[in-house]
Amino acid sequence: MSDVKSNPDTFSTKLVLLLSASFAVMSGSLVSPALPAIESHFSEVPNVSYWAKSIPTLPALSILFASPVIGIIADRIGRKTILLVGMAIYAIAGSSAFVLNSLTAILISRVVLGLAVAAVMVTTMSLTSDYYDGKQRSRIMGWQSACMGISGTVFVAVAGVLADLGWRWPFLLHSIFLLLFPIAIRSIYEPERSSPQKPEEPAKDDSLPIRLLILVYATAILKQIATLLVFLQVPFYVKEILGNDGTRSGFALAGRTLSSSIAAAFYSKLKQNVSFIRLAAIGFSFAGIGFGTIALTNGYFALIGGLVLAGIGTGIVNPNANVWVSRKTPERLYGRAIGGLTTSFYVGQLASTFISESLVGQFGLNSTFGYVGIAFLALGAIFLTLKRQIAAMVSPAS
């Protein structure tokens, strides 16, 4: 244990940080390929289309309220216990739908799952910032996003195959998280915190970068609305063109997560020569082109091509937001800053259910993808053309 305490670069410590973040963000996408079958199974339930599509996004409801609180608690009492409790609840609540027979009970289990996701996400990101700094932190956060993509590629594809066996089977994938629990007990430790008072430090370094956080949180909400639009609607799009095919839905979604992981793996190299603002512009532009491709073309392989391009965009945007916040936030306040970022992700996720259903119902799926693509391209253009103004705006007030 002492070796681990003195060296966070051990394989087991990095494994826990990488896979914990991966499992947390996969809580919704794991069950997406099964949504058409779930809707059919509970067809007698009023408004079943809405409630079925709420299954991937409902954890966001509890995450929304829990993340800021967990961030504050983690700053005060430590990270490890919260992480371990979150891992256990995640496995139990996430897989419980395998034996539940009521759609209401399944929805309640997803709310409980959201508490676990909030605990895992906030503590994992906080521990990453505690253990590493500088280029190493950028590298680890890039690896986390890459690992999310690789894990998502594998598990979403597997979930698609399992969905063809029965809609309950993908839920069991949540229980795999338990395999990581004993490793976390041995390898995760509470970091030593530097003293909060150092006379030499200027006062401005001891406060949250509010303007930066507002910018990052707002763009995170939009990005997450678009991401969940993909996972909520693509299985139904595939059903329209190919029939009820969970396997092909899973592979289409896996293509997006694979491209995201590859882009994230190169993030630390990109960051060496490119500013945060320019990277955000590049990421949003790729996402816009991807959604535009889906909107302007038809067919399964065109869908995969668009998802791959959109995945490259999110693979850049995700680690960029995490590293940007971690670089500009004082260490003692990082837990609540990342708690706010996690909340933003899941505000977007929760809003996606309402927004996507409304837009698709009014304009159709292709037009909805087109509008999202336009929004991302506009955001990329704003970051690129107004980069100096944005840099001045998010700089700490002197």
Give the tens place of pLDDT for each residue, 329-338.
887 787 778 7
- Determine the residue type at 203: A
What pLDDT, on the 0 to 100 scale, is given for residue 89? Answer: 95
Q: How confident is the model at residue 398 (pLDDT cuts 50, 70, 90)?
A: very low
Residue 263 placed within a domain: yes
Q: Which of 177, 22, 168, 25 is nearest to 90 (CA)?
A: 177
Please give the Cα distance from 211 to 390 (Å, whole number). Answer: 10
Please give the Cα distance from 161 to 33 (Å, whole number). Answer: 9
Please give the Cα distance from 170 to 81 (Å, whole number). Answer: 28
Asked whether residue 227 carries a pLDDT value surpassing 70, the answer given is yes
Residue 210 placed within a domain: yes
What pLDDT, on the 0 to 100 scale, is given for residue 91? Answer: 94
Give me 87's structure tokens. 């891992």
Asked whether residue 64 carries a pLDDT value surpassing 90, the answer given is no
Give me 83's structure tokens. 């992480």
Residue 193 placed within a domain: no
Q: How confident is the model at residue 194 (pLDDT cuts 50, 70, 90)?
A: low
Domain count, the chain: 1
Please give the Cα distance from 32 to 249 (Å, whole number). Answer: 9
Asked whether residue 117 carries a pLDDT value surpassing 80, the answer given is yes
Residue 112 placed within a domain: yes
**Which burial class, exposed, middle or buried, applies to 69 when counting CB atoms under 10 A from its CB (0-12, 13-18, 19+)?**
middle
Highest-pLDDT range among 33-42, 59-68, 233-242, 295-304: 33-42
What pLDDT, on the 0 to 100 scale, is given for residue 390? Answer: 87
Q: Assess contact for 252 and 238: CB atoms under 8 A.
A: yes
What pLDDT, on the 0 to 100 scale, is given for residue 170? Answer: 93
**Angle 210-242/300-328 helices, nearest 10 degrees?**
160
Please give the Cα distance from 7 to 79 (Å, whole number). Answer: 17
Residue 329 placed within a domain: yes
CATH of the domain at 160: 1.20.1250.20
Q: Assess contact for 337 and 329: CB atoms under 8 A.
A: yes
Please give the Cα distance from 150 to 21 (Å, whole number). Answer: 12
Residue 264 placed within a domain: yes
| Average pLDDT of the residues in 58-85 | 85
Please give the Cα distance from 366 to 360 (Å, whole number). Answer: 8
DSSP class of residue 288 equals: H
User: Which domain range does residue 288 map to?
Assistant: 2-188+205-394
Residue 195 placed within a domain: no
Residue 196 placed within a domain: no
Model's pTM, two decimal places?
A: 0.70
| Average pLDDT of the residues in 169-188 | 93
Please give the Cα distance from 196 to 205 (Å, whole number). Answer: 11
Tell me the pLDDT tens digit for each residue of 243-288.
666 788 888 888 888 888 888 888 888 888 899 999 999 999 999 9
Q: How confident is the model at residue 396 (pLDDT cuts 50, 70, 90)?
A: low
